[in-house]
Copies of this chain bind each other. A is one copy, B any other.
């Protein structure tokens, strides 16, 4: 048997190759393209390229399209290259000559850029909301367990006394620092590329400040070559922030997988976050945590891909840059889900105080023993050696 599509006709295969995943990805970009197109139309009206009647028609048609999209009634056909074509075609179909005017003063290049940027800003807000919700839950968890002693490990070996609260607090502090990375990503995204055309500006007297205001951007991204250059680049800044969030969740999940082993038993995982085995009746597996752990690696590879695509190329748009859309949108979706899942974990996670307590064995206090000698005037390095020797004698 062959799954290898030998029956697909040739031209269609090449068309599909150029379209890639855009037909799926672009579905989520439609509302952002509509918003940007409305701002563009209003601006064209203001500078006298469209009449106010034309603007009204275009804006009304875009708002109608948006309603359809929300109702699940607007999608792309297989022969649509991307959502931008589909939208322009819709407008031309509805409005005739007026629809053909909407692309005045812009290029697909800045059209895609601005839609992705609005999408990214919206996504970052949602992600920061979700991250704050997670932080709340983790901080509350840390508070509830601030007094629960638990061994601190270095080199995966018992080291010194720690606490469940200190552990959860570390995760919260890490995520707090990640919020700084998210804010930086937001700041850099917050510049309006609309009006940069294909990457060399538009020889028409556009009002870029106006679309910037209407779309809520902090400023115009002035240099048109930089607008294009920043495609992929700023997406990588966003994914970098998300990579860090998922790195922290990866490490937290790693702890939970280990310390919920019956051999340790410090944590009890809620049944709903575990699964059984198809063959072993006794199993309760921490699948959700393992997937949380694993997703980090997806994000890391997506970030790396984003900058690798454009490297070694001269400036100016290349179709290669289209391939930055999928890692960007995918990375955002994955991170968003992971944050939700992590919150569920911390909401339902239980601590077994008895097992934690039982694990507080004497070697965890060896450093304290040395400090007691220090307090009696023994230099630290000598105190250290003395305790080490006495531990050896006692056995261990």
Contacts and interface: CB of A to CB of B under 8 A. Distances in A.
A318 B155 contact: yes
A173 B374 CA distance: 53
B279 A367 contact: yes
A20 interface: yes
Size band of the A side of the interface?
35 or more
A229 interface: yes
12 contacts: A3-B123, A4-B336, A84-B278, A107-B280, A108-B278, A109-B279, A155-B286, A155-B319, A198-B367, A282-B391, A291-B323, A300-B311
A73 interface: no
A313 interface: yes
B312 A107 contact: no
B291 A159 contact: no
Contacts of A368: 203
B226 A288 contact: no
A2 interface: yes
Contact of A276 (B161, B322, B374, B388): B388
Contact of A154 (B16, B84, B198): B198
A224 B291 contact: no
B18 A288 contact: yes
A272 interface: yes
A148 interface: no
B314 A156 contact: yes
A117 to B, nearest CB: 14
A285 B316 contact: no
